[in-house]
Amino acid sequence: MTAMDLTKPEVENHLTNLKPHVIFYDFTHWIPSITKPLGIKALHYSIISSVTLGYTLAADRYSKGRGVVYGGWVQQQLILEHPSVGCFITHCGSGSLSEALVNKCQLVLLPNVGDQILNARMMGNNLKVGVEVEKGEDGLYTKESVCKAVSIVMDDENEISKNVKANHAKIREMLLDKDLESSYIDNFCKKLQEIIKN
């Protein structure tokens, strides 16, 4: 049994619901056996990934009434503020971090180069608002280390997760304070006045 064989019930369910006229398939030998009872007559074997073809040809039809599939540009901020997003794996760029910190999703820090590494250390070690993914001995990330970091931030019983969530909430509250920017300017003006008086 292959990994593709494990998808057979889901594929059959989708074909039953979608009622396609044409099916492209690659290495799933069982496709013809499930299409015949469904009355699907046009089958095409293709060495091009059937998933790719299916995604490009049927996204609108597939998503009707079941969610949203959108192929255009969507602002990251809109995605991060959606209540179904529980965790954001970020490369730790300044823009992504500023958008993530004002939302409730938990942060997994996966920096690559330059300032991203510094940002990750500040967010993970100093501010403790996220969990940085550990690198292996070869300096690369592993799927296990990514899964471990995600598990930590998403586990409500984990002490690290509790601290990260509490710290993130404090930073979020500070960043969303409507007087944040004006208070810096007010304090700066007060300091200037003190300097002039002395």
Residue 123: the pLDDT is: 96
**pLDDT above 70 (res 51):** no
Residue 40: the pLDDT is: 81
Cα dihedral 162/163/168/171 (nearest 10):
140
Q: Is 141 exposed, middle or buried (0-12, 13-18, 19+ CB in 10 A)?
A: middle
Nearest to 95 by CA among 74, 116, 78, 113: 116
Minimum mean pLDDT among 138-142, 160-164, 183-187: which range?
183-187
| 28 CA to centre of own chain | 29
Which of the listed ranges 4-18, 43-57, 148-162, 167-181 does the model predict with the highest average pLDDT?
148-162
Residue 99: the pLDDT is: 92
**pLDDT above 60 (res 66):** no
* Contacts of residue 134, Cβ cutoff 8 Å, sequence gap at least 6: 141, 145, 148, 149
Minimum mean pLDDT among 6-20, 34-48, 89-103, 149-163: which range?
34-48
Hey, what domains does the chain have and what are their CATH numbers? 5-63 (no CATH), 78-181 (3.40.50.2000)
Nearest to 53 by CA among 22, 15, 13: 22
**pLDDT above 70 (res 20):** yes
